[in-house]
């Protein structure tokens, strides 16, 4: 399988952050900052999507364990997280319950058995992948999900005014000739089309500035899909 196009960039970024900052600060910055706050929001989103104690959760692009740390404080679950940088996974394991499992995975696949996962999630992951890569991951997630299992993922969309600043930053880097991280936008019509082809039911779209779970919004748009 093809490896990710940005592995070396992320390894270099994490190495530089660890050089410039104390460990906890570096690991928070590596996933965008606000480690505790955003982790709590993501945990609340999964609960809103149907997470229950005893569930098996798969977290694609788990980073330094922001979500895993929050879930461990609130739920009794089995958790499996993957990422492309080993230093992030090592930190995530230290911040999470002992039964949580973390694995380095740099392929377009998911290391889970068929029909073994209750909820799969990808927060701020498809926002940095090519569309074909996201599609393959959604196909892999469907294989891994139990019947009735759900996927929750965040995405950027041009229809959301609060996401325009991300595109402006991308444009600015383009004008400067700087190769920044890939920022990929995804439209709801495309997600619906993928659902039809992959055999998902779309449960709900949630605007980035909405928080039907109560509390704070995530500020990225959300899709909740269900395997029939």
pLDDT tens digits, one per residue of 9-42: 889 889 999 999 999 999 999 999 999 999 999 9
pLDDT score of 134 more than 90? yes
d(CA 97, CA 69): 8
d(CA 157, CA 178): 23
Q: What is the pLDDT of residues 95-130, one digit of tens each?
A: 999 999 999 999 999 999 999 999 999 999 999 999
Percent of the chain with pLDDT over 70: 97
d(CA 187, CA 195): 13
pLDDT score of 59 more than 80? yes
pLDDT of residue 52: 96
> Can you give the length of the chain in residues?
228
Q: Structure pTM?
A: 0.94
Q: By the 8 A CB rule, do 168 and 185 touch?
A: no
pLDDT of residue 1: 47
Q: By the 8 A CB rule, do 55 and 78 touch?
A: yes
d(CA 20, CA 220): 28
pLDDT of residue 217: 97
Beta bridge partners of 13: none
Mean model confidence pLDDT for the chain: 94
Averaged over 127-134, what is the pLDDT? 94
Q: By the 8 A CB rule, do 119 and 55 touch?
A: yes
Which distant-in-sequence residues (6+ apart) come within 8 Å of 153 by Cβ?
Answer: 121, 122, 123, 125, 126, 222, 223
Phi, psi of 108 (to 5 degrees): -85, 65
Which distant-in-sequence residues (6+ apart) come within 8 Å of 67 by Cβ?
Answer: 39, 42, 43, 46, 59, 81, 121, 123
pLDDT of residue 120: 98
d(CA 140, CA 126): 14
pLDDT score of 180 more than 70? no
């Amino acid at each position: 399988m093809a490896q990710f196009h940005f592995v070396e960039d992320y390894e270099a970024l994490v190495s530089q952050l660890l050089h410039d900052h104390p460990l906890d600060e570096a690991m928070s910055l590596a996933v965008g900052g606000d480690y505790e706050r955003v982790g709590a929001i993501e945990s609340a989103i999964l609960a809103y999507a149907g997470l229950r104690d005893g569930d098996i959760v798969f977290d694609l692009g788990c980073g330094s364990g922001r979500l895993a740390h929050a879930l461990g404080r609130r739920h009794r679950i089995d958790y499996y997280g993957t990422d492309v940088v080993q230093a992030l996974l090592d930190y995530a394991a230290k911040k999470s319950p002992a039964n949580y499992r973390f694995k380095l995975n740099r392929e377009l696949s998911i290391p889970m058995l068929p029909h073994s996962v209750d909820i799969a999630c990808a927060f701020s992951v498809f926002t940095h992948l090519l569309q074909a890569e996201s599609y393959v991951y959604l196909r892999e997630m469907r294989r891994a999900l139990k019947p009735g299992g759900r996927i929750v993922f965040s995405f950027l969309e041009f229809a959301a005014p609060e996401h325009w600043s991300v595109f402006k930053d991308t444009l600015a880097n383009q004008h400067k000739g700087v190769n920044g991280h890939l920022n990929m936008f995804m439209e709801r019509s495309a997600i619906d089309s993928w659902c039809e082809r992959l055999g998902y039911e779309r449960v709900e779209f949630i605007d980035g500035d909405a928080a039907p779970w109560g509390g704070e919004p995530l500020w990225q748009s959300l899709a909740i899909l269900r395997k029939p």
